[in-house]
Amino acid sequence: MQRLSFIIGFIFWSCLLIGQNPHGEQLKIDCKVCHTSEGWVFIGDSSSFDHNSTNFMLEGQHQNTDCKLCHSSLKFNEAETTCNSCHTDVHNMSVGNDCVRCHNSQNWLVDIIPELHEQNGFPLMGNHRMASCTDCHISDNNLVWNRIGNDCIMCHQEDYNQTVNPNHMASGFSTNCVECHLPTAESWGAENFHLFFPLTEGHNIADCAACHDVNNYSAASPECSSCHIDDYNNAANPNHLTAGFNTNCAECHTTSGWQPADYKQHDAQSFPIYSGNHKGEWNSCTECHIGGDYNNFSCIDCHEHNNQSRLAGEHDDVGGFKFESNACYACHPRGEED
């Protein structure tokens, strides 16, 4: 009786085992595709199953990989599809776990480093193109690329501290290098500075100390007279001091040189000489401002061909007419004839 019970039990468990699929219910292919009746040894190859029917296509080196390296159990659908489920993250999660951002299935080489830096807001331009990755991404492991921020000073603090011509620290310069230096440059030449005071033509000088005679460069005044007060005081033709000219040199001069000088404000402030009837009718200031006193002017010296008697006849209807410059200006403040 016991023997009969054993036989029945054995048959029951045998049928139960035969009915089970060790690969899970998700695998629907016929066993004969991979096995024979002589045993469960795998006789097929990777082409026996269309891996592209899953959500993980076999491309590149994955086509040559032993199935068991990814499928460690007999239930194939239990295999993870994320890169780091099979590949050790040598970057210690410093760049995330999505390997395909940098690598492809052919090899581990990275040939899109410039594009990756652009995506992260720091294009590799100028000398940055030639820098080694470990020059900026410093760590105990040269494969760890911790984010270091996009601020220049994160890498160039030492350059800033050691610069002496001019001394950046003593001068209180900004630590934002791009205010003076171009990211596209091949060297530290300051091509992108002084935008608030363009160094053009006469101001295009190499010696910063010629204007910045103090350690703190930010203390230098942008006023013309802070550098050119001697030029102002010594000017004799015309004498700027006696004429009471403004010390803002830019009102008359340009950076191309002291001559020619144009006092365009003359038209609005006193008398139109660059427009109206007097435009192009004079060559020098002293034609009207005789004697070097620019607070005074003469009309009758220029208009001497209009003799006094003829002008008196033309003004016979003007009471108290005088052949005198101030009288001319009183009636003709804009140089008009009528």
Condensed to tens digits (0 to 9), the pLDDT of residues 79-121 reads 888 888 888 888 888 888 888 888 888 888 888 888 988 888 8
Does pLDDT of 1 surpass 60?
no
Burial class (CB in 10 A: 0-12, 13-18, 19+), 180: middle
List, in order, residues 6 or more apart from 317 with CB less than 8 Å away.
none
Structure tokens at 39: 């045993």
pLDDT in tens, 271-318: 898 888 888 888 888 888 887 677 788 888 887 655 677 777 778 778
pLDDT at residue 30, as a whole number: 82
CB 118 within 8 A of CB 111: no
Q: What does the block give as tokens for 233?
A: 């005081």
In the chain, the percentage of residues whose pLDDT exceeds 70 is 88
Task: Answer whether residue 192 shows pLDDT above 70.
Answer: no
Residue-wise pLDDT tens digits, 134-174: 888 888 888 888 888 888 898 899 999 998 878 888 888 88
234 pLDDT band (50/70/90 cuts)?
A: very high
> CA–CA separation, 99 vs 89, rounded Å?
9
User: What is the pLDDT, as a whole number, of residue 46?
Assistant: 60
Give the mean pLDDT of the chain.
80
Q: Please determine, for residue 266, whether its predicted confidence score (pLDDT) is greater than 70.
A: yes
- Please list the residues that pair with 164 across neighbouring strands: 167
Which pTM was predicted? 0.47
AA letter at 280: G
What gap in Å lies between CA 29 and CA 26, rounded to an integer? 9
Residue 242 clears pLDDT 90, i.e. is over it? no
**Percent of the chain scoring above 90 in pLDDT:** 4
Tell me: pLDDT of 12 over 50.
no
